Structure 1
Amino acid sequence: MRTRLALGAVGVLVGLYGAFLFLSRQDPAQWLEVALWFGAGVVAHDFVLSAALIGVCLLGARVLPRSWRAPALVALVVWGTLTVVAVPVLTRGGARADNPTLLDRPYVATWWALSAIVVVSVVIAGFVRSRRAHGEE
């Protein structure tokens, strides 16, 4: 319990420090823009991404066999996070013609390779779980 309180106190202090830096170093005219940006992120996450994830999970619970549900859910969360994080580089946002060293990696191929790893992992986990489930019956 003490550890949780200590971690919570550290988190609150770091948050307060961040708020102080924001308020002391940011132009007050931009505060509304920042608030809107944060608000849009919360709305996008809570009402779009989370709702879509819950819908897909409910559909998966009806369609997939019991032994495949957990691996598929893990894959959905991992692949979704991977994709959301990769969107800026997949769309080449920030690439500039005057600096060819920006975004000079094969990001799309890497995303496909990581996606394939996720799919293969799910297939392996699903088969292992289904074999165990049939062995226990």
Structure 2
Amino acid sequence: MSAVRWVLGCLGVLVGAYGAWLALTRQDLVQLAEVALWLAAAVAVHDVLVAGTVVGATLVGRRALPRPWHAPATLGLVVWGSVSVMAVPVLGRFGARTDNPTLLDRPYLATWLALTLLTLAAIGVAGLVRSRRTEA
């Protein structure tokens, strides 16, 4: 098992180094600065918005939900929050252009709502299964 992890780790480092080399050799300084800004903003959004919301909701959920529901609710919130943050550009239709109707031509809101309902259903099923296991 340890050898597999080591090989996968080395492979990941090599792929990352190749990507960094491509970025540094094929982009100008302005593009690299924009990438750095985007990465910093992504970390800030995750750490402040997603992680903060998950921690806060988890603390509230621990008081409001029975113990067997804690893990499913937290996991569901992490999945839903991460996907929701990633969906912001398409839900906001950023980049849509009137001269090209093929851009952003999918029902993104309906898809996001379907994911939200599926996540809630998964939380419900997992919570019920865990509740029944603790009763037995």
Q: TM-score, normalised by structure 1?
A: 0.86
- Cα 1:126/1:98, change in 2 over 3 Å: same
5+ long unaligned stretches in structure 1? none
Query: Residue 67 of structure 1 corresponds to which residue in structure 2?
Result: 68
Aligned-pair RMSD on alpha carbons? 1.7
Query: Residue 93 of structure 2 corresponds to which residue in structure 1?
Result: 92
1:80 aligns with 2:76: no
Structure 1 runs of 4+ aligned residues shifted over 4 Å read: none
Identical-residue share of aligned pairs (%):
55
CA contact (8 A) 2:80 2:116 kept: yes
Q: CA deviation at 1:25?
A: 0.7
CA contact (8 A) 2:76 2:120 kept: yes
Query: Residue 114 of structure 1 corresponds to which residue in structure 2?
Result: 115
Q: CA deviation at 1:72?
A: 0.9
Query: Residue 35 of structure 1 corresponds to which residue in structure 2?
Result: 36
Distance 1:104 1:32 in 2: 31
Query: Residue 55 of structure 1 corresponds to which residue in structure 2?
Result: 56
Task: Tell which deviates more after alignment, 14-23 or 48-57.
Answer: 48-57
Q: CA deviation at 1:98?
A: 1.0
**Count of aligned positions:** 135
Distance 1:62 1:130 in 2: 16
Query: Residue 19 of structure 2 corresponds to which residue in structure 1?
Result: 18
Q: CA deviation at 1:27?
A: 0.7
- Cα 1:68/1:29, change in 2 over 3 Å: closer
SS in 1 for 2:102: coil
Query: Residue 124 of structure 1 corresponds to which residue in structure 2?
Result: 125
Residues 77-132 of structure 1: CA deviation (Å, up to 9, x unaligned): 22112212222221111111111122222211121122112112222222222223
Distance 1:71 1:128 in 2: 10
